[in-house]
């Protein structure tokens, strides 16, 4: 009896299909394994420059985090006065980034004092290392807005919060004060690339979305420290270059910065007059038309709307504010942080109390 060839073929079809299916699955598994190996091979572990055993716990409302970059060289001459003044405006939202702990600090900042392995100098690589650490803190905080300031800045935190309140953190936004009038150019991969950047000395702010994008670059080893080292850029310039070149995000210029000098140009009485006078308030609306106050008077009045001020010990520039010292405090308060804080927030003028 002869077998039916078609019947035999039909009987083998399920087996053949099963074999093809198994081979298909094996091919997929091999491909996935290969991709996984390549991913692991190319994956870069982000190097943390923050040392110490204190975990970073953000207990604020997630809307804002501020880091202050300082050095152990300036604990008694700069950081002390920040802690006694504007740090008190938002102690749960401000983190100090430095190079080593100091047991002599007047306040226990807990995990709000973070030290790094970056060194204490004011040289380019140490500063770039600390700014890289600040970005790490920004990412871990996952706040809507992350802002950097230097240890010679006085920051009016309520004004900063007001400025950011109508901005969208879901967009990649980069705010600050421009350092030079024109874009600078950097040669990168044989190409001259123009860009603008926010000067770190006046403060800068990054949106949550921009911080996330920067952290993705950090996972690829594109960090402020590495770019600074490769191209010889300062920390704030390197950050601006990364944001502009690698992320194609434009810099947003904000005029929220003045310089604070230590001369006795005005008395507290005259400053209070500027503060409360309706004539000066009205003049801010149409100053170019009415000319009811001089430009220098207008600058003095505008201090109430500024976000940050920076200490200036020599000379005067066009955007300076003269604040007299508090009685018996002139030799101590060289940057006038006590004076400006008492002037702006008279109910917070006791510097002997503990930080809340």
Hey, which residues are catalytic here?
236
Q: Supply the Cα-derived Rg of the chain in whole angstroms.
A: 28
The string over 261-282, giving b where at least 16 C-beta atoms fall within 10 Å of a residue's C-beta and e elsewhere, is: bbeebbeeeebeebeeeeebee
Q: What is the largest CA-CA distance in the chain?
A: 123
Could you tell me if 244 and 251 are in contact, meaning their C-beta atoms sit under 8 angstroms apart?
yes
Sign of CA dihedral 137, 139, 143, 148: positive
Strands (E), 52-105: 64-69, 94-98
What does the alpha-carbon distance between residue 106 and residue 55 come to, in Å, rounded to a whole number? 22
To the nearest 10°, the Cα dihedral for 108, 112, 113, 114?
A: 150
282's tokens: 């009205």
What does the alpha-carbon distance between residue 223 and residue 159 come to, in Å, rounded to a whole number? 30
Closest CA to 94 of 199, 238, 203, 188: 203
Could you tell me if 134 and 51 are in contact, meaning their C-beta atoms sit under 8 angstroms apart?
no
Could you tell me if 69 and 131 are in contact, meaning their C-beta atoms sit under 8 angstroms apart?
yes
3-class state of residue 356 by DSSP = coil
Strands (E), 15-144: 50-51, 64-69, 94-98, 113-116
Neighbours of 308 (CB within 10 A): 27
What does the alpha-carbon distance between residue 343 and residue 326 come to, in Å, rounded to a whole number? 10
């Amino acid at each position: 009896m002869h077998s039916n060839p078609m019947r035999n073929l039909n009987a083998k079809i399920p087996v053949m299909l099963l074999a093809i299916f198994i081979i298909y699955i094996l091919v997929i598994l091999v491909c996935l394994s290969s991709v996984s190996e390549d991913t692991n091979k190319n994956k870069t572990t982000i190097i943390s420059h923050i040392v110490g055993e204190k975990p970073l716990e953000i207990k604020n409302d997630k809307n804002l985090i501020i880091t202050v970059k300082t050095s152990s060289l300036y604990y008694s001459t700069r950081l002390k006065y920040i802690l006694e003044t504007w740090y008190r405006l938002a102690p749960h939202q401000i983190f100090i980034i430095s190079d080593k702990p100091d047991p002599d600090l007047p306040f226990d900042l807990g995990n709000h004092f973070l030290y790094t392995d970056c060194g204490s100098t004011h040289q380019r690589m140490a500063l770039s290392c600390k700014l890289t650490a600040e970005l790490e803190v920004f990412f871990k905080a996952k706040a809507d807005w992350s802002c950097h300031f230097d240890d010679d800045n006085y920051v009016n935190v309520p004004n900063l919060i007001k400025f950011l309140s109508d901005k969208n953190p879901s967009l990649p936004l980069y705010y600050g004060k421009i350092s030079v009038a024109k874009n600078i150019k950097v040669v990168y991969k044989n190409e001259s690339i123009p860009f603008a950047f926010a000067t770190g000395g006046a403060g800068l702010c990054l949106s949550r979305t921009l911080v996330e994008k920067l952290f993705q670059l950090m996972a690829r080893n594109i960090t402020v420290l590495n770019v600074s080292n490769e191209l010889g850029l300062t920390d704030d310039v390197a950050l601006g270059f990364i944001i502009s070149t690698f992320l194609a995000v434009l810099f947003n210029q904000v005029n929220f910065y003045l310089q604070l000098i230590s001369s006795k140009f005005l008395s507290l009485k005259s400053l209070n007059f500027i503060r409360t006078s309706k004539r000066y308030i009205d003049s801010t609306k149409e100053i170019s038309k009415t000319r009811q106050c001089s430009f220098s008077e207008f600058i003095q009045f505008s201090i109430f709307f500024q976000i940050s001020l920076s200490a200036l010990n020599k000379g005067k520039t066009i955007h300076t504010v003269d604040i007299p010292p508090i009685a018996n405090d002139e030799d101590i308060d060289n940057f006038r942080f006590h004076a400006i804080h008492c002037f702006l927030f008279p109910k917070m003028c006791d510097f002997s109390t503990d930080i809340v």
